Structure 1
Amino acid sequence: MAANKNALIRYKTIDQCLRNNYRQWTLDDLIDACSDALYEYEGKDVYVSKRTVQLDIQTMRSDKLGYNAPIEVYERKYYRYTEDDYSIMNIPVTDKDVKIMNEAIQILREFKDFSLFKEMDGVLQRLEDSVYSSQKDRRSIIHLDKNEQLKGLEYIDVLYEAIQHKKVIEVMYKSFKAHKASKMVVHPQLLKEFNNRWFVLAVSKEKFTTLALDRMIGITTREDLVYKDKELQGDLYYKDVVGVTVSENVRAQKVVFKVDLKNAPYVSTKPFHASQKEIKKTEDGIIFEIQVQHNFELERLILGFGDSIEVLKPAHLRKRIYHKLRTALSQYDDKE
């Protein structure tokens, strides 16, 4: 059972109350304590119902979170622990817990370019020292793909904070096509990672634009400008594309392709897109269908499968892939 932050704050608050044997705790007292704790955490009033705290106590009593808290009601009114030294904070860490936390720590360390995680480094180290001291000489068994030479990672923090605090920024940017860098004033909306590269989706001159962090030369915050918040949801904005290139006012269209029998399992287990469907099995392959916008990243993905894939529909995409493959072949024709 997963518990959200507010629930965990309530459990911890109830635990602190019941550990205080110098006071008798009614249900209303526990409700007030939870409300105060959530107000301190959220910075605003958070409604805590009688039913919510009753369910919290029921959860703490159960094995759902491993607490098995010995909570009893006495005099038909007051709550307390039947064991004087009990606390949910004293629950022992199991071998399974150690394994899960160790894997989580290794993954968190991969995000070292965020200052948020840099500040956590000491916390992670202490956690490792206290929980995994017997395992500290063991090698890591998780490896995430990363490029230590990738440019622009130093701007992740600046962009993250600009989006979080709704700040307009001025970017010195040099695209691959440009001869020299130019200055852009943008309203950053989302950070996006794709294919081991980072991008920022921003508003520039009332239109969305996608900027690669490795093409940035410098960033300055513009305190004199009012930020335009488009309140974008990443999953919704990118739902019809492969990659990062989204065309406004363009509908997603059906793309049908066939993958040979040898490579079809790779496409089945790692779909090109969330909309992917298996349409038909043939003697020499499997036919798939996705519903996406036609963009550069889709073409690169298809071309990456070389002679193991064939685009069947739409005709214009099939023709475009055909010409790209013919051009690629021409690079080798006169060199054998």
Structure 2
Amino acid sequence: MATNKHAQIRYTILDRCFSNFNRLYTYDYLLEEVNDHLYELGTEGIRLRQLQYDIDHMKSDAGWAIELDESLKKERKKAFRYQDKSFSIANHPLNVDDLEQLETTITILSRYKHRAEFSWLEELIPRMEQAFNLVADGDNGIVGYQENIDLKGRQHITTLFNLIVKRKQIKIIYEPYGKPQFDVVVFPYHVKQYNNRWFLFCFNAQYQSISNYPLDRIMSIEELAEGFEPSAINWLDYFDDIIGVTKPEDDKLEKIHLKFSEQRVNYVLTKPLHGSQKLDKSDEGGQMVIIEVVPNNELYQLLLSFGADVVVISPPKVRDEMVERIKNLTNNY
């Protein structure tokens, strides 16, 4: 069983080697590549016989029916590479084994989707079923999701996830809008999506504070060998007091009273602005809601999106900021 435990990892590594048209891999080099990755995971390596079994499985119909150019030689030894330069098992439909494992996984996850802490599974499961064509013929496309597949920086998500799990210090090359690139060394802690954009939250040693960087402005990520400064922040709670991703350090929680128009209030009640939202019971018309958040730019952007359908009643600080922003908006016209 030990040789099969990390089979999917081995297939992914072999796929990467076969896809590399800048290098030829013999059995020896393939073994070295696979075992180096397995050792990093803290597990034992494999022998030549298991490697041959893995390649045979990838060639079979139960695998991905891969086609290798086996006429190649390197150092008088047989070498391997895909015949089709554009082929990758990542772009190939699920094989029989993958399909069975995925369906089993979804079945297990479905047992927990009614528990409060796993409510996110209610969206994830149908999304997986649709993405991997696990729905009945003719039913594909039942659910549509808002997603920007062309978003720059998406390729960094997996890299950052692995670096955070491994607790690695990193150096990123960052390019702000309209400014030159710069590099910064950080301790990565958390990756969050907001408004169809991804953000890295990390400790910036230079400023001795938490910083966030949108992934679409990160040009490159380099893993460093230096030590790691662990985070004491509970990231499950970190965003509870704000809307969006900007957390002002000096501001405090404010109870914000908002009055919505009759036409808009029901939309707000069915899709709350924030987890703290509640009806103002002193308002007989039922059009007033209260949220308790730290004011930030995302809050004001959200309120402005309602146009004339919302009025900030209090506190004066938030009301005055809205007035100022509306004046600036009016000046544009």
Same-fold status (TM-score > 0.5): yes
Does 1:239 pair with 2:228? Answer: no
Q: CA deviation at 1:317?
A: 1.4
Q: CA deviation at 1:102?
A: 11
Q: CA deviation at 1:108?
A: 3.1
| SS of alignment partner, residue 236 of structure 1 | coil
Is the alpha carbon distance of 1:109 and 1:218 closer, same or farther for their aligned partners in structure 2, counting shifts above 3 Å? farther
Percent identity of paired positions between Structure 1 and Structure 2:
28
Does 1:142 pair with 2:143? Answer: yes
Does 1:325 pair with 2:326? Answer: yes
Contact 1:299 1:321 in 2 (8 A): yes
Does 1:279 pair with 2:299? Answer: no
Is the alpha carbon distance of 1:319 and 1:104 closer, same or farther for their aligned partners in structure 2, counting shifts above 3 Å? closer
Distance 1:241 1:291 in 2: 9
Distance 2:173 2:124 in 1: 36
Q: CA deviation at 1:109?
A: 7.3
After TM superposition, the structure 1 = structure 2 runs for residues 1-336 of structure 1, keeping only pairs within 5 Å, are 104-108=124-128, 128=134, 132=135, 135-176=136-177, 179-205=179-205, 206-223=208-225, 225-248=226-249, 250-280=251-281, 286-332=287-333
CA distances 1:132-164 after superposition (whole Å, capped 9, x unpaired): 5xx223232111100122111010011101111
Distance 1:141 1:233 in 2: 36
Contact 1:189 1:202 in 2 (8 A): yes
| SS of alignment partner, residue 237 of structure 2 | helix
The one-letter amino acid paired with 1:182 is: F
Distance 2:294 2:210 in 1: 16
Is the alpha carbon distance of 1:202 and 1:148 closer, same or farther for their aligned partners in structure 2, counting shifts above 3 Å? same
User: Unaligned stretches of 5+ in structure 2?
Assistant: 1-41, 43-103, 114-120
Distance 2:211 2:148 in 1: 24
Q: CA deviation at 1:249?
A: 5.3
CA distances 1:220-250 after superposition (whole Å, capped 9, x unpaired): 1112x11111143222111110010112354
Q: CA deviation at 1:289?
A: 0.9
Contact 2:164 2:189 in 1 (8 A): yes
| Number of equivalences | 217
Q: CA deviation at 1:167?
A: 0.6
Q: CA deviation at 1:328?
A: 1.5
| SS of alignment partner, residue 190 of structure 1 | strand
TM-score (norm 2): 0.59
The one-letter amino acid paired with 1:200 is: L
User: Unaligned stretches of 5+ in structure 1?
Assistant: 1-42, 44-90, 113-123
Q: CA deviation at 1:188?
A: 0.7
Distance 1:102 1:275 in 2: 22
Is the alpha carbon distance of 1:247 and 1:326 closer, same or farther for their aligned partners in structure 2, counting shifts above 3 Å? closer
Is the alpha carbon distance of 1:148 and 1:261 closer, same or farther for their aligned partners in structure 2, counting shifts above 3 Å? same
Bigger radius of gyration: 1
